[in-house]
Amino acid sequence: MRHLKNCTSSFIRYPDQAKRIEKNYEILKEHLNKEDFVTVLYLTDETNLQLREVSLDSFIRGFQLGWRE
């Protein structure tokens, strides 16, 4: 959770996106009990981790292909 809040503060170049994230965070916090809220945050963290890993893997594969040619 703290990580999500820290990430939103780093969106200085994307203030509209940071506002949407903060708004959605507050909506979730209001509508979910604590256990469900934590579950959603864990799910979000895991999804973001997978996206980063796929992105890095794609970059490495592309670099390897470019290096061969």
Predicted pLDDT of residue 11: 56
Is pTM beyond 0.85 here?
no
Rg (CA), the chain: 16
Taking only the tens place, the pLDDT of each residue in 4-54 is 555 555 556 788 888 998 999 999 999 999 999 999 999 999 999 999 999
Amino acid at residue number 46: E
Residues 23 and 63 sit within 8 Å (Cβ to Cβ): no
Predicted pLDDT of residue 21: 87
* Domain map (residue ranges) of the chain: 2-68
